[in-house]
Chains A and B, each alone.
Chain A
């Protein structure tokens, strides 16, 4: 088990991420990622293979930055009106995962609920986050975030804001 201070720092880091997404600060959100960091939303429960099995999203920083620019771009049709979200993160459990280039690394699990409001539509997403985090001074950076939607293999309407 982690010491309470580190545990609390990690919790606050996850809350910060949720707040950045909810406030539409997608550039700020992207800065939480390592330069090679990956965001992965599988299309199947228990999916381990991102190459032979299609993912809803499997993007590294280079592609995520295009996605973020698109979110901030005026002409993204699916984003008019701009969706508003409430990201709720809970049940945060963190454990040490050794060292990454001299910095402490952590594995973090959490549950999430996200409600997306757009025009007169409300969509509810829920599932489980898994993070690989590394220390970066006082803060952390995301090496990998895996978003396991409870209904990853269901029929979906278009998704817009990262969960």
Chain B
């Protein structure tokens, strides 16, 4: 007790006490929140997850896809599309659609992870379809082969997604989006479900191992440092030509003007 009474009026006592209090509250909050999250997950078994999903579906999706996901004039039936499709469309923000334009674009997702999982469970419960995957399930880093993946990408994907995976134009304003910065599970799900204009790459066409190789190549291309300097968007000769005319020739003409300026 001597210690406390000796230092309780020390000039650092106040700030230290405040710091200790903040740390206590912070830790406590984090632990309590983690505990409550766990509680949500454990308390919702499959049936309740489906029920939850059905409720979200009725609120957010049924106006276009129909009350029982049977589809309507403006949106397709979701019976049999499977959890993978829901996970891809909802978790990348494509669904719900922002507007009825040429194709759904990637944006900030509207539903969080649990809501997406519930929706996926509901849609999967309607009829069997491709199951969703998680990033952890995909062992692309271990079992993929970058060189083979590149070859597969050039054979199957590059004609729409560009040689460097930067995306490309399709007809009537549709497009193949860039594959850079896409989560591995979403790349995988896109291949097995064929969203929008994309064809389905069934496991008989591209085996699951080959799909992992493609993901590995995409991740490599994404993380490869700019080897030759500024990448100029990696879209090839168009930006190169633009830079040659503007910076290259522009700089040289500027210097030519300077060289021929009369000394005053």
Chains A and B form a bound pair: no
Q: Which residues of B contact A (CB under 8 A)?
A: none
List residues of A whose CB falls within 8 A of some B CB. none
